[in-house]
Amino acid sequence: MSGILVVAEHMRGKLADISAELVGAALSIKNHVGGGLSVVVIGKDAASFEKQVNLAGVDKVMLVPVEEEHFDAAVTEQALCSIIEKEQPELVLLAHSASGLSVAAGLAVRLGGGFVSDVFGIGFDNGRLRATRSGYGGKVNIELECPDKPVVVMTLRGATFKAASGDGQAQLQEIGIDLAPVAKRRSRHVEYIEAPSSGVDIGKAEFILSVGRGIQDEKNIPRFQELADRLGATLGCSRPVADSGWLHKGHQVGLTGKVAVNCKLYIALGISGAVQHLHGMKHIETIIAINTDPNAPIFNVATHGGVMDVFEFAGALEKIS
Ligand SMILES: Cc1cc2nc3c(=O)[nH]c(=O)nc-3n(C[C@H](O)[C@H](O)[C@H](O)COP(=O)(O)OP(=O)(O)OC[C@H]3O[C@@H](n4cnc5c(N)ncnc54)[C@H](O)[C@@H]3O)c2cc1C
């Protein structure tokens, strides 16, 4: 077995950003794995994504047209099983998304392969494929190998790996799959229901002003929202602020929120710096932390820190902004 198979993800006619990120992750280890890099697109409109997934470094694009208009886990699993049995890749990469998760584990079991989910690091150590994911609520990083497995299936975390870019010169192949084994389905697509939007994109924001439980009350949110607007920052928050309903979940930074991938400046106001919060922001180049507790862990990752009251700090910023 050799080579890597990337499973492109798309929904309602749009290719998901994670597809190019999966290719980027695959390219970073392609030389170690050996063999080619293939991308498979399964769906009624699979052909419409041909150019978008034909990225530099991709050797083969496989298009699998199916009758189903929408993602169907049983169809996707069956199609992938057939392709993997024929192509024999060593590694299969899917998105760590609702769709990816509904297929990946079952696929690994059917293939007798290894399985690692929510991977945020991938590499080779002593010639062995190694994946990194977190455990115990983000308190530890775990490095995993799947020795002696014919194939390893992984779901990769979004907005984590550098997306591949540039036009490729992949060989194109259209594949028909026998879907008779899944003709009798136990589930069917009913409808999409849009999640209410927060209107913010933490992953894309370059400057985030983030508030934690230290702001003490929901009634203080408008003041910090206004301050963020005046400074040209996106308003972020810690989990308790989102869990309490003070801000939409879309503002949450951290393990179960969003990773501030593109952020250059992060101001943490009244945030203690729990590992799960740090997960989403500790990589940022410039972090300014304001906290009344001089021992708050946020100061361990801060570039500049102020042991002071958030309201006093906000008042000073309001005067100059
Ligand atoms: C599985 C799991 C996933 C999680 N995912 C996330 C996640 O994605 N994001 C996340 O943020 N958390 C997450 N958490 C929760 C996390 O463990 C912490 O509980 C949370 O980050 C704490 O939020 P906080 O810092 O706002 O609150 P606290 O820990 O209560 O800290 C408040 C801070 O404000 C300071 N403070 C109080 N008053 C003032 C004042 N007037 N001026 C200045 N400072 C003041 C205090 O000294 C304190 O340090 C997760 C937990 C688990 C178990």
Is the pLDDT assigned to residue 215 strictly greater than 80?
yes
Average pLDDT over residues 88-106: 97
pLDDT band at 84 (very low <50, low <70, confident <90, very high): very high
Could you tell me which residues are beta bridge partners of residue 235? 209
Whether residue 1 is predicted with pLDDT greater than 90 in this model: the reply is no
Question: Which residues neighbour 137 within 8 Å (Cβ) at sequence distance 6 or greater?
Answer: 255, 275, 276
Q: What is the pLDDT of residue 196?
A: 78
Q: What is the dihedral of CA 107, 112, 118, 121, to 10 degrees?
A: -130
| CA-238 nearest atom, ligand 1 | 11
What is the share, in percent, of the chain residues with pLDDT greater than 70? 100
Nearest CA to ligand 1 atom 41: 309
What does 194-257 look like in DSSP terms, one character per residue?
Answer: PPPP-S--TTT-SEEEEE-GGG--GGGHHHHHHHHHHHT-EEEE-HHHHHTTSS-GGGBBSTTS
What value does the mean pLDDT take over residues 23-29?
Answer: 98
Indicate the range of 43-52, 53-62, 138-147 predicted with least confidence.
138-147
Ligand 1 centroid–CA 202 distance in Å is 17
Distance from residue 57's CA to the centre of ligand 1 (Å): 42
Q: Is 16 helix (H, G, I), strand (E, B) or coil?
A: coil
Q: Which residues line ligand 1 (CB under 6 A)?
A: 137-138, 212-214, 238-240, 252-257, 270-272, 274, 276-277, 290-293, 296, 309-310
pLDDT of residue 197: 81
Q: Name the residue with the closest Cα to ligand 1, atom 27.
A: 213
**pLDDT value for 321:** 74
pLDDT tens figures, 225-248: 999 999 999 999 999 999 999 999
- Which atom of ligand 1 sits closest to the CA of residue 256? 8
**What is the pLDDT at residue 65?**
96
Lowest-confidence range among 7-16, 64-73, 98-107, 188-197? Answer: 188-197
Atom nearest to 237 CA in ligand 1: 11
Domains recognised in the chain with CATH numbers: 4-182 (3.40.50.620), 207-320 (3.40.50.1220)
Work out which ligand 1 atom sits closest to the CA atom of 272: 49
Give the pLDDT score at 165: 97
Q: Residue 143 has what pLDDT? A: 97
* Structural contact between residues 232 and 207, judged by C-beta atoms closer than 8 angstroms: yes
pLDDT of 112 strictly over 90: yes
Q: What is the pLDDT of residues 134-190, one digit of tens each?
A: 888 777 899 999 999 999 999 999 878 999 999 999 999 999 999 988 888 888 889
Q: What is the pLDDT of residue 282?
A: 94
Task: Please tell me the pTM assigned to this model.
Answer: 0.79
Q: Which residues have C-beta within 8 Å of that of residue 61, sequence separation ≥ 6?
A: 38, 39, 40, 41, 50, 53, 54, 170, 171, 172, 173
Q: Rounded to the nearest whole angstrom, what is the distance from the C-alpha of residue 274 to the centroid of ligand 1?
A: 6
Return mean pLDDT, the chain: 95
Determine the distance separating the centroid of ligand 1 and the alpha carbon of 269, expressed in angstroms: 10
Average pLDDT over residues 296-304: 98
pLDDT at 10: 97
Query: Is residue 97 predicted with pLDDT exceeding 80?
Result: yes
What is the residue with the minimal CA distance to atom 2 of ligand 1? Answer: 137
Of all protein residues, the one whose alpha carbon is nearest to atom 50 of ligand 1 is 276
Give yes or no for a contact between 157 and 256, defined as CB atoms under 8 angstroms apart.
no
Nearest CA to ligand 1 atom 51: 276
Residue nearest atom 36 in ligand 1 by C-alpha distance? 214
> Which of 120, 202, 238 most suits a substitution to test ligand 1, by most atoms within 8 Å of the C-beta?
238
